[in-house]
Copies of this chain bind each other. A is one copy, B any other.
Amino acid sequence: MKIAVMGCGTVGSGAVDILEQKGELLSSVCSGEEVTLKYVLDIRDLSARPYAAKVIKDVDIIVNDPEVGVVVETMGGTEPAFTFCMKCLNAGKSVVTSNKELVANKSDELFEAARRNNVSFLFEASVCGGIPVIRTMFSALSANRLTGFDGIVNGTTNFILTKMSREKMSFETALKLAQELGYAERDPAADVEGIDACRKTAIMASIISGSHILPEEVHTEGITKITLEDTAYANAADAEIKLICRAERMEDGRIHASVAPALIGRNEMLAHVSGVNNAVTVRGDSIGEVFLYGPGAGREATASAVIGDVLECVRLKRNEDHYYWQPHKEGVLCEKGENDAALYVRGYAKDPARAMTEIRETFEGVRLLARDNAPENELAFITAKAKEKELREAVGDIRDFAAASVIRVL
């Protein structure tokens, strides 16, 4: 079986290295069938690479070569990745991708093409790098009605939040450090505004719902408004603030999907996910929940997931009907805030004693928080669980109280 890799950047070159260096191992998990790299498609000059003779610049060489059975897409972005993948699927080749933007936006067309041509389209590496989240949801938990997930799927923001919580580093300083270490882009918006996490959430929420959920349908909030005051209060409540992607199946069957900061008690595994690591807790009606944790990015770890999928394609040699969701449809998702949640609130009161009395009266079971060196007019509290939308409205109604921070509590 011959393999082509389209896009020889960080992940692509990692996949190429595994194919070039581990031939014997790869063959051994495919009943002895040889798994060999034939082409590397890239517009850059790769003439110094040991595999320079395999580098091509025209995708049609791959499309028209009947020897190529599986194509790896590690170019990133929607185009030309989408056009190239469709060409390969329509030529009867299985496609493996690490491209979350592609899967989150274009799965309907890609799945349809894969089915029509009886080939596989696999995308384990598109969510949480090397952690087998997709495979676990689709395959290991296939006897379950999946009911939801909570995840930390963006390493950059988790690195920043870890530094803020453990070292009292400001958001700005932690972001700068993340940029210096190469964890964050010069334009960090995709990470800190939650856009990257939103795409991964859309993919996982599509599995939960069984039909395609688009990134723009996921209620998305970043971490730019989190302050050291908030992390101090979270720590005082024996909790951590994390950027949590979440989907839950409501009683009426609709899905609530969101990316937003949340307070998580330290009795939960997710609270212990530190630095650039990723983790997801998946819930199903039989399993209860299972928690997966590991490297959510990185050249070798992500390439491990890509080549794991390549080997599955080689073994299966045909379309795998269970790695799919239905096309996008209306009415699947519910409105923002329809879910139940407890809220953490930090704000400033004209008359703190009076505001506190009103807060106690409004929010039954409220828990007041304290931190060192808080200004006298600062109040922070955690409400009991209720419909999130109504809680937020009630917070807005507290007289002479300006909420500076309102964060979900898991």
By a beta-carbon cutoff of 8 Å, the part of chain A in contact with chain B is 14, 18, 22, 25-26, 29-31, 124, 130-132, 135-136, 138-145, 269, 272, 284-295, 298, 300-301, 303-308, 310-312, 315, 320-322
Contacts and interface: CB of A to CB of B under 8 A. Distances in A.
B287 A300 contact: yes
Nearest to A124: B140
Contacts of A143: 18, 22, 25-26, 303-308, 310-311
Contacts of A139: 135, 308, 312
Contacts of A295: 287-290
A144 B305 CA distance: 10
A307 B301 CA distance: 29
B315 A287 contact: no
A301 B322 contact: no
Contact of A311 (B124, B132, B142): B142
A85 to B, nearest CB: 21
A304 B291 contact: no
Contact of A140 (B286, B288, B305): B305
A29 B140 CA distance: 11
Contacts of A124: 140
A22 B145 contact: yes
Contacts of A310: 143
A304 B144 contact: yes
B141 A136 contact: no
Contacts of A293: 269, 290-293
A320 to B, nearest CB: 7
A211 to B, nearest CB: 13
Given A25-B145, A139-B312, A272-B269, A301 B288 contact: yes
Nearest to A311: B142
A322 B29 contact: yes
A30 B291 contact: no
Given A315-B320, A320-B315, A322-B29, A294 B289 contact: yes
